[in-house]
Each structure stands twice: as structure tokens, then as C-alpha cells.
Amino acid sequence: ANPSTYAYLDSSRWIYDWNNDAFTEPIYAYYKAELGRKGWNAQSHRRRRHRWGFAGFHLEPASPSTPFLCSDETFDNWHYGLNYTNSDLVPYLQRHPHLDRAVRFYALRNVHYLVGQNDTCTDDMMPNGYCDPSCWMRHAKHYCSRTSMDVRCPAMLQGPSRNMRAKLFMKHLQHFFGKPIHRLYEVPDVGHQAENIFMSEQGRRAILGEDRYEEWWS
């Protein structure tokens, strides 16, 4: 529920940009570092930054040769992806005898994802302190208060907010497996708030299953 990032199953990621009043429609495409723009400049996901990201002076404009938001060779390392040669891969994956088969079987699992409708905060990476009106931590002065979202390059290649990343990951799974799989619950009027997520109707349905939910809560 409401993770900052997801483990992608291939090397494709999302092309998008900020066009002064909204994000462009994400396009799913094969990624490699040389296709990314220079100057994103966000090495830490917890330290507050100023004049960086879309609000900075160093981010190169997108071009046909560099359509992706940023450039990073580690974009597919665990936990952003399943780079099998990554020395930092968790041991149970690194020594898994049939990881490719496990990935194929993932489509058969009964998996539910949860994300807050208002988990749309964009940290302080936007020009002029812009913060989406739906952000649950939108300050009275209209900037986004911190929610420690991962804003390093491999995370940004998955989308600009936790809410968008959840929806794009579902599209990624559909691209990868060739059909819709699993289920995403979007919890209305909730941001990055674990208790509210799990106590919501959507959270209870995901945890209990539809039949048991109807039996216990009808």
C-alpha cells in the first residue's frame, strides 16, 4: 500500500514532462541511461532540496534523443527492478534457481494494491512551489509539505507521485504480461496515511477478500 516505488519486470519506463500547468501523458518505452536528460540532481530522498528537479536551472530540456526525465545506470537495480547481476540484490532473489519462472507465475498470484487518491504530493521539485490541489499535505501557501517520497532518478522514471506510480505500474504489468492482472484500489480522500488506507472500505476489501468482506461488513 502506497509505496514510493515498484519493482519493474523489464527495462521499460515512462516518458513524461511538466508543461507549466500539468504533467504530460506518460508514454511507456524502452529505457537506457543515454536516453535520459542530465541535471535532475536528487541524490537523497529524505533531505530537503532547493532549486532542483523541474524547479532547478540544471535540468536539460527534453529532446528526441533524450526524452526521459533523467539518466541513471542503476534504474533497474533492486528495488526499482530485477537486475539479476546487481550485487545489492536481496539474497533470496540473487540465489533464486528459477527467477524467470517466478516472474511468469507472478501474474497468477492474487495481488491487491492500495493507493491514496490524494497521495499526489510532488515534494518541492516543481516551479514556483506548485503543488497539485489534490495533495493531502498541501500547505495553505500552496506548496507541498514533505512526505519523504523517493525522488531519485530511478523512482522518477516510474512517475511523479505515489498515486501516479501505482496506476502506471498496473499499466506496466498489463504491457509485460499482455493482459490486465491484479487489482488496484484507489482510496478516496486519503493521502500517504497507512491507517486510513487499511481502515477504508477498499483496504478491508483487499485484506479480507470480497466474500468475507460482504459477510463481515454487510
Segment 149-181, tens digit of pLDDT? 899 999 999 999 999 999 999 999 999 999 999
Mean pLDDT for 4-29 is 96
Which carries the bigger pLDDT value, residue 217 or residue 148? 148
Q: What pLDDT sits at residue 86?
A: 64
**How many angstroms separate the most distant Cα atoms in the chain?**
57
Read off the pLDDT of residues 46-88 as tens digits, 9 standing for 90 and up.
455 556 789 888 899 999 999 999 999 999 998 899 886 666 6
Chain mean pLDDT for the chain: 89
By the 8 A CB rule, do 75 and 157 touch? yes
CA dihedral 43, 48, 49, 54 (to 10 degrees): 90
The Cα 93–Cα 4 span in angstroms is 21
By the 8 A CB rule, do 152 and 73 touch? no
